[in-house]
Structure 1
Amino acid sequence: MAQPAALLGLEKTSLRQQAVDALRRAITSGQLAPRSPLVETELSEMLQISRGTLREAMRQLQQEGLITVGARGRLIVRHLDDKEIRDIFAVRAALESLAARELAQLPDRAPAIATLRATLDAMARAGNENLEGRIEADLEFHRTLCRLTGNETLLHSWISLEGSIRMSIMFAGLGKAVGNMDVDRHNEIVDAIDTGDADHAIQAVHTHMAWAAANLVA
């Protein structure tokens, strides 16, 4: 008996998402290097999916900033130059300083501060993991900073940058990446928020992002 259309649609969506996850992981881990051409026939065979499903997955990765259009209209893995990295961190600074201000102005900041310190503990524990694991722990801190505001538009805007953020850190190399994930530097943001001084919290985020961007492009 034929499966209901709704179930077929769900199955297709799941397959597309699996393809998105696999390609995203290959790009951000460096398995697919910057400027690498993305050949549909090869990738669809490797992933064992149809070319139509592959195209849907690659469209999503274009929206995330991991894939771009290269010469002759062919899709390639995006390469981030120094200006693009600085631009990404400038936008991050704007978003995350807004988050820090909102949290600093909470009448009861204690629950948010406790949650942020828990993510810092997780970052410290991730120090013994591989680079990808350490990056994910770092991103979780910044994602949580935005999520705790309860501002869904802010969180969505930050998430839209996540792929580019991950790439900028991953491709900078181990030494620079580790510098960006220093727990003490992140703790300065939490301490500033904890004071309840919104201006101090904003400045802490801008200082953090300026240093991080300069470190990656040095």
Structure 2
Amino acid sequence: MSEKQNALLGLKKTNLREQALSALRTAITRGGLPPRSALIETELSEQLGISRGTLREALRQLQQEGLVVLGDRGRLSVRSLEAHEIREIFVVRSALEGLAAAELALQDDRTGTVAELQSALDRMAEAGTERLDDRIECDLSFHRALCSLTGNATLLHSWTSLEGSIRMSIMYAGVERAVGNMDVGKHMEIVKAIEAGDPEAARRAVAEHLKWASDNLVA
């Protein structure tokens, strides 16, 4: 059985749309469905054990997340990122996460915020010997926490809408460079600036980290 088929097995018979969505998303972001792979409804619905209608709902959601694209002939395929697109994604990330870090630095009581961010960094450090996808989840959890801890729902929603593209961009240059972006020390600079109550330093730390990360991925 192919890696693509293995990546799409094992659905239960409840909440099939969400399970299909999760299985497809995981297969795409972990390479089971590589960039430019054609997404053929008859094959996928059979592999997943769901109706084509349920599959279409999941695929529509993946289009919204930026993981799947519609070709000229109306055929869906896995999105393939170009270097300039990754830079654009990271520029937008920098704006959102920089704003988040600055807002957190302006909180009157930052004790709980710093503790949660430090906890996320601890998990990132502990995941240093784990599988790549586990390390990616720890890295994304830190950046998601930056946005969620602001309490700004619009900011968090904007970041979440990029999450699929962020996952794909992390895998763009292979494992070694992806791991390089998960350096705990670079993330710690952001936390230190927030803890110090310096919004400009916090914004700058985010910008420097994400600029380095995007350069690392597309070098």
Secondary structure in structure 1 of the residue aligned to 2:197: coil
How does the TM-score come out when normalised to structure 1? 0.93
Match of 1:199 in 2: 200
The number of residues matched between the two structures is 208
* Correspondence 1:106 to 2:111: no
How far off is 1:13 after superposition?
8.4
Q: Percent same amino acid at aligned positions?
A: 65
How far off is 1:215 after superposition?
0.4
Match of 1:154 in 2: 155
How far off is 1:169 after superposition?
0.6
Kindly report which structure 2 residues correspond to 1:110-189, keeping only aligned pairs within 5 A, or say none: 110-189=111-190
Counterpart amino acid of residue 42 in structure 1: E
Preserved CA contact (<8 Å) 1:30 1:171: no
Secondary structure in structure 2 of the residue aligned to 1:76: strand
Counterpart amino acid of residue 123 in structure 1: M
How far off is 1:12 after superposition?
9.3
How far off is 1:164 after superposition?
0.7
Q: Structure 2 stretches of 5 or more lacking a match?
A: 1-11
Preserved CA contact (<8 Å) 2:172 2:217: no
Q: Which runs of 4+ in 1 moved over 6 A?
A: none
How far off is 1:193 after superposition?
1.1
* Distance (whole Å) between structure 1 residues aligned to residue 188 and residue 170 of structure 2: 19
Preserved CA contact (<8 Å) 2:110 2:195: yes
Secondary structure in structure 2 of the residue aligned to 1:72: coil
Q: Structure 1 stretches of 5 or more lacking a match?
A: 1-10
Match of 2:38 in 1: 37
* Distance (whole Å) between structure 2 residues aligned to residue 73 and residue 182 of structure 1: 41
Match of 2:86 in 1: 85
Kindly report which structure 2 residues correspond to 1:21-100, keeping only aligned pairs within 5 A, or say none: 21-100=22-101
How far off is 1:126 after superposition?
0.7
* Distance (whole Å) between structure 2 residues aligned to residue 96 and residue 13 of structure 1: 36
Preserved CA contact (<8 Å) 2:178 2:217: yes
Name the larger-Rg structure.
Answer: 1
* Distance (whole Å) between structure 2 residues aligned to residue 100 and residue 80 of structure 1: 27
How far off is 1:131 after superposition?
0.6
